[in-house]
Structure 1
């Protein structure tokens, strides 16, 4: 058994579907690679085996908002919508951490969707989950204060008490501007909650950040 054996979600596929997938070779995509831009045609369904891909909405002024991350076990709404409805991409996808991906061509995707109930369930379950998480992101951007969004992001991304991200990365993720993030980080630093330097935030008082997420 090849790469499909490591993905629990694919365990219920038919033998024919599994053979189709195994015939596709995983590709390694380095960090900072742009996978698609607004107006590009959707080429296929992407299965992420490792790494992380950020999907951004880019405004006319160049400001970006992170819509969602695509990680192993999750799906890309933009790709699914394009494959089902024939629409081009309306967002930009950038590899945030070296990724291994498999691209399932449009024709094969549609044939498997029609023939294999298990594959159909995988696609639509992942699509529903992604839609729900995207709605939650939009809700936070629309109704949650910047401090609460910033605190939540830092807690969610922290690894060993540290967050490796630039202020622009953080701003895109929480739907704000870099200058605003810089001021909020400085304020949190003065309170003794964290320290920050270029590309890194060190959390000193996670409990204080947790309280801030509810403000």
Structure 2
């Protein structure tokens, strides 16, 4: 079976383009593999068939912020910018699960963009959705209070009322420092909203946390 049948968003692609793409091999990537680093040039366009990749921005002090995650049907905005605009990567991409993916080399990508309306719509549609998500992240980091971002993150990542993550992992997701997350979690714990154990946060009062997540912007 062709891997194209598993590629969300490429349904109905032209037969000639499909033949070119089907000749490309599936890469099997282990969890924890670094796919690109800051300063590298984009080698090609990756179509993710299974798993999840996360892209981070890393500051001069080593502090990280999660820029976005990539799942099947989604794209990497940094790769698209690199291929179409010649920009080097500014972030780092890491597989957070075992993944299957197909890499379309740069020259093949540019050629298919010129000749395939279906592929072109897929690339630009995925790019637009990803850029919108990045803009939403920047808005939250710039204007939303840390307490609201933390409450929203806990609610979004809770399974059966618990979040399994370190304070550093939470800080990376919401765009702040680990020490800030530790202080805010301690305050939420004293208020009876959560219980904090090593590597685990238990949500004791999800309703109040939801209200906190929905609160207004920072002044």
| TM-score bin (small chain) | over 0.9
Aligned residues of 2:7 and 2:47 also touching (Cα < 8 A): no
Deviation digits for residues 90-132 of structure 1 (CA, Å, limit 9, x no counterpart) = 1111122222221111111111111000100000000000000
Distance 1:157 1:26, change over 3 A: farther
TM-score between both structures, scaled by the size of structure 1? 0.94
Q: How far apart in 2 are the matches of 1:26 and 1:208?
A: 46
Distance 1:115 1:142, change over 3 A: same
Q: How far apart in 1 are the matches of 2:16 and 2:82?
A: 25
Q: How far apart in 2 are the matches of 1:31 and 1:198?
A: 23
2:50 match: 50
Q: How far apart in 2 are the matches of 1:180 and 1:93?
A: 25
Distance 1:28 1:160, change over 3 A: farther
Distance 1:4 1:199, change over 3 A: farther
1:24 match: 24
Aligned residues of 2:30 and 2:95 also touching (Cα < 8 A): yes
Aligned residues of 2:157 and 2:163 also touching (Cα < 8 A): yes
Instruction: Spell out structure 1 runs of 4+ moving beyond 4 A.
Output: none
Task: Using the TM superposition, give the Cα deviation of residue 85 of structure 1 relative to its aligned residue in structure 2, in angstroms.
Answer: 1.0
Task: Using the TM superposition, give the Cα deviation of residue 29 of structure 1 relative to its aligned residue in structure 2, in angstroms.
Answer: 1.6
Find out whether 1:210 has 2:207 as its counterpart.
no
> Structure 1 residues 63-72 or 112-121, which shifts more?
63-72
Find out whether 1:134 has 2:134 as its counterpart.
yes
Q: Secondary structure of 2:195's match?
A: strand
Q: Secondary structure of 2:126's match?
A: helix
Gaps of 5+ in 2: none
Aligned residues of 2:164 and 2:199 also touching (Cα < 8 A): yes
1:157 match: 157
2:179 match: 179
Task: Using the TM superposition, give the Cα deviation of residue 183 of structure 1 relative to its aligned residue in structure 2, in angstroms.
Answer: 1.3
Distance 1:205 1:49, change over 3 A: farther
Deviation digits for residues 2-39 of structure 1 (CA, Å, limit 9, x no counterpart) = 22212341112111222222222222222222111111
Provide the alpha-carbon RMSD of the alignment.
1.4
TM-score between both structures, scaled by the size of structure 2? 0.92
2:168 match: 168
Find out whether 1:4 has 2:12 as its counterpart.
no
Deviation digits for residues 130-178 of structure 1 (CA, Å, limit 9, x no counterpart) = 0001000000000000011111112222233332322111111111000
Q: How far apart in 2 are the matches of 1:202 and 1:107?
A: 49
Task: Using the TM superposition, give the Cα deviation of residue 42 of structure 1 relative to its aligned residue in structure 2, in angstroms.
Answer: 0.7
Q: How far apart in 1 are the matches of 2:69 and 2:208?
A: 26
Find out whether 1:70 has 2:63 as its counterpart.
no
